[in-house]
Structure 1
Amino acid sequence: MIKVGIVGGAGYTGGELLRLLINHPEANIRFVHSKSNAGNTIGSVHADLDGETSMVFSGELNDDIEVLFLCVGHGEARKFLQNNPVSNRVRVIDLSQDFRLNDTKTFSGTGRAAGSSDVGTTERNFVYGLPELNKDAIRTTFNIANPGCFATALQLGLLPLAKAGLLKDVYSTGIT
């Protein structure tokens, strides 16, 4: 079983991640961190998970993990890693935009997200985490920058066309 920690578990992304991992046969959730909800049950914040688990949110971090999910707001993941050094043996999966690509010019096919090595005093290079585009790099890295929903939808639709050489210019608009 993989020992998992979740930071930002009280938000929407954290709740969806919990929904996926609570009954996952290979996941052992060691802690779900939330400063504002420490001591509250998961179900009291995520009504859809009420009765699924007796876990409570923690205000403390636990070092006994193999994977750390960062489900915090944009700009907060970078700050979290600066203020809370995480062992390089722990896989970090960032679900915010903090370590995604800054622009297309900085993505050279290496799988490295732009500007990803300036986290505090510990260098962490994040890989762009779209498996259909970057599965080999994802398998070998300890730091994954999860792509956003718009980018994922566009890339999954366009990658087959790009691989077949059928694309020239692509223009898209996304509205939330």
Structure 2
Amino acid sequence: MSEQIKIGIIGGAGYVAGELLRILVNHPFADIKYVQSKSQQDKLVSTIHTDLEGECSLRFVDSWTADVDVLFLAGGLQQSNVFLTGNQVPAAIKIIDMSQDFRLGHTKNSHGRSFVYGLSEHNREQIKRTDSVANPGCFATAITLSLLPIIQLVDDEVHIHAITGSTGSGQSLSPGVNFNWRNNNVSIYKAFSHQHLDEINETLKDVSPGFKAAVNFLPVRGNFTRGIFTSIYFKSDITADELQNRFKTRYQNDPFVIITDAAPDLKQAVNTNKILINAAKYGDKVLIISAMDNLLKGASGQAVQNMNLLFGLDETAGLKLKSIAF
């Protein structure tokens, strides 16, 4: 592809939009036409997303125009639904929604569009053919990718412990984000009831229609800013060799899924669009450990990965990012 992709961003002041901009300003085929934010109108984008100082001269606008090829909807819960209800977006404009408004089966047909669930490694071919993508949640991405190669063999309860950084809660101040509370602290929230469970279960049953095992999920607030570290275990009689083979075979053509021989640590994944996964056998149990960046592979990085698929680009375009390592 030689032409630039003209891009509009709706809801451009939050963490997810900031990471999206950080990727797009260096993407070889991206032309950012505008960044909309009613709360930050006329301010330089770099005054809010300060890591873009010297890299982005755009100012926030309070409206949008149709002279783009794709719209990223980066607002919070129900903001995408509100935007599409109040605005007629031409059918020729592709949409990548980064809220949770259209992820589930009963919400995917909305506003005259059929949203494809944007888990890139699961729905790659459908994404290539659609005009509307519902980007997955961060926990859902980490957990589902960790289970896809093995889920057809799971008939026992699945136990999940996943710890996330404070950026997963967004920019709005709340007790769960406040530094004085979160620093040197760890807490469980929404035990067994996190909203991402619905999309996790829906995808797992899409892969394995007979899957009926309980998925027990304990989300944990970590005392760091970004990243998700997930540990999953369940009983299985699969051999260690077969386990390794299933993961390596399933993801052999997926550039951002890295199957490791040793358990990964979080810093290997932070600041990248990669998810690192290790699957091992301990007695009669399988243990799967994964690490990824909640703002990149869990949000903006995967959204750009989906944009690349929508426009027939190399899937890795603009996403060859290095981890912080230390």
Residues 1:167 and 2:212 are matched in the alignment: no
Identify the match of residue 129 of structure 1 among 118, 138, 141: 118
Say which SS state the counterpart of residue 113 (structure 2) adopts: coil
Could you say which residue in structure 1 is the equivalent of 2:135?
146
Could you say which residue in structure 1 is the equivalent of 2:83?
80
Give the whole-Å Cα distance in 2 for the aligned partners of 1:60 and 1:78: 16
Say which SS state the counterpart of residue 33 (structure 2) adopts: strand
Give the whole-Å Cα distance in 1 for the aligned partners of 2:55 and 2:82: 31
Amino acid corresponding to residue 53 of structure 2 in structure 1? D
Contact 1:31 1:61 in 2 (8 A): yes
Say which SS state the counterpart of residue 149 (structure 2) adopts: helix
Could you say which residue in structure 2 is the equivalent of 1:105?
none
Give the whole-Å Cα distance in 1 for the aligned partners of 2:120 and 2:108: 19
Instruction: Give the stretch that moved more between structures: 74-83 or 165-174.
Output: 165-174
Give the whole-Å Cα distance in 1 for the aligned partners of 2:125 and 2:8: 24
Give the whole-Å Cα distance in 2 for the aligned partners of 1:77 and 1:133: 23
Could you say which residue in structure 1 is the equivalent of 2:234?
none
Aligned-pair CA distance for 1:18:
0.4
Give the whole-Å Cα distance in 2 for the aligned partners of 1:117 and 1:156: 24
Give the whole-Å Cα distance in 2 for the aligned partners of 1:84 and 1:71: 15
Superposed CA deviations along residues 40-78 of structure 1, whole A, max 9, x for unmatched, are: 001101111111111111112121101100000111100
Identify the match of residue 13 of structure 1 among 16, 24, 27: 16
Give the whole-Å Cα distance in 2 for the aligned partners of 1:44 and 1:131: 32
Structure 1 gaps of 5+ residues are 102-112
Say which SS state the counterpart of residue 28 (structure 1) adopts: strand
The TM-score with structure 2 as length reference comes to: 0.48
Give the whole-Å Cα distance in 2 for the aligned partners of 1:144 and 1:63: 18
Give the whole-Å Cα distance in 2 for the aligned partners of 1:75 and 1:97: 8
Aligned-pair CA distance for 1:11:
0.9
Say which SS state the counterpart of residue 69 (structure 1) adopts: strand
Contact 2:102 2:110 in 1 (8 A): no
Could you say which residue in structure 1 is the equivalent of 2:61?
58
Contact 1:30 1:62 in 2 (8 A): no
Residues 1:115 and 2:118 are matched in the alignment: no
Give the whole-Å Cα distance in 2 for the aligned partners of 1:152 and 1:116: 18
Give the whole-Å Cα distance in 2 for the aligned partners of 1:76 and 1:87: 19
Identify the match of residue 43 of structure 2 among 31, 40, 43: 40
Amino acid corresponding to residue 173 of structure 1 in structure 2? L
Superposed CA deviations along residues 21-56 of structure 1, whole A, max 9, x for unmatched, are: 011111000110011111100110111111111111
Aligned-pair CA distance for 1:173:
2.3
Contact 2:25 2:56 in 1 (8 A): yes
Contact 1:66 1:90 in 2 (8 A): yes
The TM-score with structure 1 as length reference comes to: 0.87
Structure 2 gaps of 5+ residues are 159-214, 222-326
Instruction: Give the stretch that moved more between structures: 53-62 or 138-147.
Output: 53-62
Could you say which residue in structure 2 is the equivalent of 1:67?
70
More strand by share: 2
Aligned-pair CA distance for 1:115:
2.1
RMSD value, Cα = 1.2
Contact 2:44 2:59 in 1 (8 A): yes
